[in-house]
């Protein structure tokens, strides 16, 4: 068995138990318990390779080859490769961690081949990419590019009311520091993210690796339906102000709007208050995730859903408040970098778009970025069933190695 496969298996085996539910699936949320284990895993992998470890102002992790963070920011022309380590609730093992493991192993491959990089290279893990705890996707990279107001970020609260600021403090990080990291990003010539494909295009193509062309515009909106709590056994139907009814209509409206306009819309998360079997609910908080290849289609989907929600709420005497939690404009990855990546990976490699958001998409606002997708046989993601074959994961490492060799020459 190749040395690379052995190393892949070791790193993977170390990650498998961290944040894993006994029935399978992962709960790895920013600044929580599993996150602390993941941070120390990252730190020890960096130390084992003699890479200089750094946790930046936003909690993103960096492991540098050829740069000492105690000297200040990296020099211009530095390269970074990585992804994220957090998951959606009950998420899969590959979404995120595959990109971080691949980056560590690509550096091993470069060193093993005697490569001497002419510019610093870093392995990076961005924090809270899924937004599963604090609600904003790509929190770490959005803060670094300056897209998210630090004060708003500090005040974000998780389901139990813990603020990002308090969660960071409890984990030994200083929330006062969060914010734009312009100098660091200005020194990056490229960021490359390896990621399990979240779809079946590569499976259909019979290809182990793909290169990303772009990311669909997408966003997430919070809808709050406010009604009147009452007794399920005595409140007359005609006198109820039941927030669950317009909520239910809105869920179906999302599916209709996506179908009619040709995009995607999902309501996969809702919280009923007080969530009691024998009470008419007081309120419902629900989250809409909408995505479409083109901005106007996304706008139409969201507008339709909100209009249906508002009319349903009015019909039921229920209030509706809506809030855009995060929004990502269409991303077209840097064309020149994509060309270099395709040449390094191997001409003929499939080039594919995606509806999934990524840190590489957020960073693209400030840094040339590119993504390599690794085949996912079922295409399923954000699920315990998410997987990639080891042989394809290793192919992803080899492809990343070739890309980093070219970029750091």
Q: Which residues bind ligand HGY (CB under 6 A)?
A: 129-130, 137, 356-357
By a kind-dependent CB cut-off of 5 to 8 A, residue 357 interacts, out of Mn ion, ligand HGY, none, with: ligand HGY
Taking Cα atoms as reference points, which of 60, 58, 61, 56 lies closest to residue 42? 61
The tokens for 187 are: 């020194």
Q: Supply the minimum distance, in Å, between the C-beta of residue 84 and Mn ion.
A: 6
In the complex, the smallest distance separating the C-beta of residue 100 from ligand HGY, rounded to whole angstroms, is 15
Q: Which is nearer to Mn ion, 158 or 242 (CB)?
A: 158
Other Cβ atoms within 10 Å of 196 Cβ, number: 27
247 — phi, psi (to 5°)?
-60, -45
Q: How far is the CB of 194 from Mn ion (least distance, A)?
A: 11
Tell me the residue number closest to ligand HGY, measured at CB.
357
Is 253 or 356 the residue whose CB approaches ligand HGY more closely? 356
Q: Which stretch binds Mn ion (CB under 5 A): 94-102, 269-277, 285-293, 396-404?
A: 94-102
State CA 64 to chain mean position distance: 22
Q: Of the ranges 5-13, 95-103, 213-221, 279-287, which one interacts with Mn ion (CB under 5 A)?
A: 95-103
C-beta atoms surrounding 272 within 10 Å: 17
Of 32, 66, 92, 96, which one interacts with Mn ion (CB under 5 A)?
96
Per rule CB under 5 A, is residue 95 in the interface with Mn ion? yes
The half-sphere exposure of 53 on its side-chain side, counting CA atoms within 13 A, is 14
Residue 368 interaction partner, one of ligand HGY, Mn ion, none, beta carbon < 5-8 Å per kind? none
Residue 304, binding choice from Mn ion, ligand HGY, none, Cβ under 5 to 8 Å by partner class: none
Rounded to 5 degrees, what angle do the CA atoms 181, 187, 191 make?
90
Q: Report, in Å, the least distance between residue 326 CB and ligand HGY.
A: 9
Site track 40-79 with Mn ion (rule: CB under 5 A), x = hit: ----------------------------------------
Which residue matches tokens 């009923």? 272
- Strands (DSSP E) contained in 257-330 are 264-273, 279-280, 283-291, 319-328
CB of 212 to Mn ion, least distance (A): 12
The span from the CA of 409 to the CA of 404, in Å, is 8
Q: Is the peptide bond before 274 cis (omega within 30 degrees of 0)?
A: yes
Q: CB of 269: closest distance to Mn ion in angstroms?
A: 14
Q: Which stretch binds Mn ion (CB under 5 A): 67-75, 90-98, 102-110, 212-220?
A: 90-98
175 binds, among ligand HGY, Mn ion, none (CB under 5 to 8 A by kind): none
96 interacts with, out of ligand HGY, Mn ion, none, CB within 5 to 8 A per kind: Mn ion
Residues in a beta bridge with 51: none
Residue closer to ligand HGY, measured from CB, 193 or 392:
193
289 binds Mn ion, rule: CB under 5 A: no
Cβ atoms of 404 and 344 within 8 Å: the answer is no
- Residue pair 127/155 in contact (Cβ under 8 Å)? The answer is no
Stretch that binds Mn ion, among 70-78, 87-95, 204-212, 318-326 (CB under 5 A): 87-95
Q: List C-alpha distances in Å: 358 to 96, 214, 347, 396.
A: 9, 10, 24, 17
Please report how the helices 390-407 and 97-112 are oriented relative to each other, as an axis angle in degrees rounded to 10.
60
Element (H, E) at 168: helix 164-170
- Shortest CB 356 distance to ligand HGY, Å: 4
Which residues make up the interface to Mn ion (CB under 5 A)?
A: 95-96
């Amino acid at each position: 068995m190749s040395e690379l496969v052995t190393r892949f298996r070791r790193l993977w085996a170390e990650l498998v138990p961290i944040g894993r539910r006994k029935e399978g699936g992962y709960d790895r949320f920013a600044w929580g318990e599993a996150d602390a284990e993941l941070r120390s895993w990252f730190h020890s992998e960096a130390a084992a390779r003699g890479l200089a470890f750094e946790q930046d102002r936003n909690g993103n992790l960096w492991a540098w080859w050829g740069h000492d963070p105690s000297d200040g920011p990296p020099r211009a022309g530095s390269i970074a490769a990585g992804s994220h380590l957090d998951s959606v609730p009950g998420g899969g093992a590959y979404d995120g961690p595959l990109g971080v493991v691949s980056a560590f192993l690509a550096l091993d491959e470069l060193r093993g081949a005697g490569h001497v990089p002419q510019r610093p290279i870093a392995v990076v893990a961005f924090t809270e990419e899924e937004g599963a705890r604090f609600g904003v996707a790509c929190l770490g990279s959005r803060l670094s590019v300056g897209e998210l107001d630090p004060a708003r970020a500090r005040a974000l609260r998780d389901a139990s009311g813990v603020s990002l600021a308090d969660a960071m403090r409890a984990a030994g990080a200083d929330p006062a520091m969060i914010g734009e990291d312009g100098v660091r990003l200005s020194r990056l010539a490229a960021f490359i993210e390896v990621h399990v494909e979240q779809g079946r295009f590569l499976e259909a193509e019979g290809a182990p690796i793909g290169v990303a062309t772009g990311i669909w515009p997408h966003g997430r909106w919070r809808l709050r339906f406010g009604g009147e709590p009452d007794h399920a056994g005595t409140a007359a139907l005609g006198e109820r102000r039941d927030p669950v009814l317009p909520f239910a209509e809105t869920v179906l409206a999302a599916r209709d709007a996506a179908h009619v306009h040709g995009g995607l819309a999902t309501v996969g998360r809702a919280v009923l208050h007080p969530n009691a079997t024998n009470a008419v609910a007081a309120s419902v908080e629900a989250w809409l995730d909408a995505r479409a290849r083109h901005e106007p289609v996304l706008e139409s989907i969201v507008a339709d859903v909100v209009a249906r929600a508002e009319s349903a709420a009015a019909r039921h005497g229920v209030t509706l408040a809506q809030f855009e939690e995060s929004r990502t404009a269409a991303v077209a990855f840097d064309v020149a970098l994509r060309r270099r990546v395709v040449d390094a990976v191997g001409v003929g490699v499939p080039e594919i778009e995606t509806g999934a958001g990524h840190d590489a998409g957020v960073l693209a606002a400030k840094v040339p970025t590119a993504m390599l997708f690794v085949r996912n046989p079922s295409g399923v993601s954000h699920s315990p069933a998410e997987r990639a074959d080891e042989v394809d994961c290793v192919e992803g490492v080899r492809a990343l190695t070739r890309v980093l060799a070219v970029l750091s020459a």
